[in-house]
Amino acid sequence: MRKNFKIFLPVFFISFLLDQISKFLVVKFLSENGSIHIFRYFSLTCVKNKGLLFGIFGNFDIALPIIMCGFFAFAGILFYILKNPKIPNFYLYALGLVEGGIAGNLADRLRIGAVIDFINFHIWPVFNLADAFIVVGVISIIFTQLRGKNASCMFQNR
């Protein structure tokens, strides 16, 4: 179990801190709905998202259910790591990213009642690093599961 946390915790803390620092800087240098054009298909755009993914249900008061689901997901991942001492390293990295993303967005919801989004590719809804960490972690787990049990062996220490 200690091995699990030697890998999981640094990934979790780094992803959480990167997310929170990036959001702090965006809020400090951009007004709400302000935007800085970086290049043709990319801008930094400060948006407060009170809804779900991509602002879905943003007009409804769903803060409490979102926060509760976030806490359940966060606790579920911790419980899984505590109860399973032989989790492959690759899954620990992926779960650390997911957990860091969940914590980053939960921190925003608890602190300001919304999530700060700022990455704008103009062909996709605005999102943040926490969202990216969650998506990368979940897709990594799904991809590994689809490839079979031995797919993650290349990521394990030998």
Q: Which residues are identified as catalytic?
A: 117, 131
> DSSP letters along 16-63, please?
HHHHHHHHHHHHHHS-TT-EEEEETTEEEEEEEE-SSGGGTTTTS--H
Q: E strand or H helix at 79, and its extent? A: helix 63-83
CA distance 32 to 51: 16
3-state secondary structure of 157: coil
Residue with structure tokens 């991509």?
54
User: Rounded to the nearest 5°, which phi and psi values hold at 117?
Assistant: -110, 145
